[in-house]
Structure 1
């Protein structure tokens, strides 16, 4: 057992990013190409930047021709290149280079982030529509839907701000988008773009007051309501 432990430690370890293992298919890498990459990685980490194909074939249990084919596929699929790098003596030597693979993985990460943001925005939009319909107790008309889309797409009001304006309208028993629009315009004039900013402004205006009576449809809209999104 002690002899095995020594051999195990002397063999070293190869570090592979889990992100690659999770997403190698998404960047166009096949399982065979991944296996070859792993074998290449072990030698590159040891300073041997272009191991012989027959060595790789021996490790993989393949014939050498199959290894050459997979290496060609990696280059053709723009996952690997062959470059020249100086060795310790300053002599140029060929080396396998996987910077293209890294670039594809980074692009995939950006695309994934954008996709997640788009899904989140879509969900937020749907939540706004559903909450307004629920509080109004009726389906929205096409004109009302257009107005809400304009708030989001043209006026760039955050969903949380629209939800806060909805709470103010409901507490005032004013089930109207026009009423909500007056609130949103009032906040916009004050450069209040988030629910947190609205709350801080109200606390600044009324430092000793923890609550305020809701406005009625016939009264002037208060400068800033104190209702938080977590209020019910």
Structure 2
């Protein structure tokens, strides 16, 4: 196992299970010190504090170290409804968790990132933000906003050597997506939709995220990386 994160402080928002958990586990294995904000503490040796994207409180960040070498924002939703059935509350919740929550996690910590002199921020979007899918209106809008946030911040903080990148996964086998993979038929059908013949695993996304947040990606910023089995670009 590599040791890209020795002596690095990384903040992860949303790591109780699924992709965030896999990312936290990998960074710990590579020698990093991991701080997790969320609703539930993961079963890992991390430093945890409660944080809710729907009711963000920046005071919870006050005990973080003076220097953060990276932030990885994994909070998200899967709200698949026809456009005509979406309520304003649906749109608002998806926007707050996926986009506004990311801004609320990054802004109070920007000075900590600047002090790292080469920090990496990774935000998790969705293949749906860049590829048109029926019933994805709310999530596509929210994740599109998240990507806009990353693009703007990449420009604003390039001179401070903070990199902002986005990962846009397709369907991944996580607790959040359980209802989409709840039977053998659903799993087979979902796998066939992807040109590479399978749906994603948390480790697929964790591999990309831990690369982009590390010093190995020190000359990469403002990118949206599709980790999607080819679904976003191949037919």
TM-score per shorter chain, which class?
Answer: under 0.3
Rg (Cα) greater in structure: 1
Q: Which has the higher contact order (CA 8 A, sep 6+)?
A: 2
Given the two structures, how large is their TM-score scaled by the length of structure 2? 0.21
Given the two structures, how large is their TM-score scaled by the length of structure 1? 0.22
Relative to total residues, which structure has the larger strand share, 1 or 2? 2
Relative to total residues, which structure has the larger helix share, 1 or 2? 1
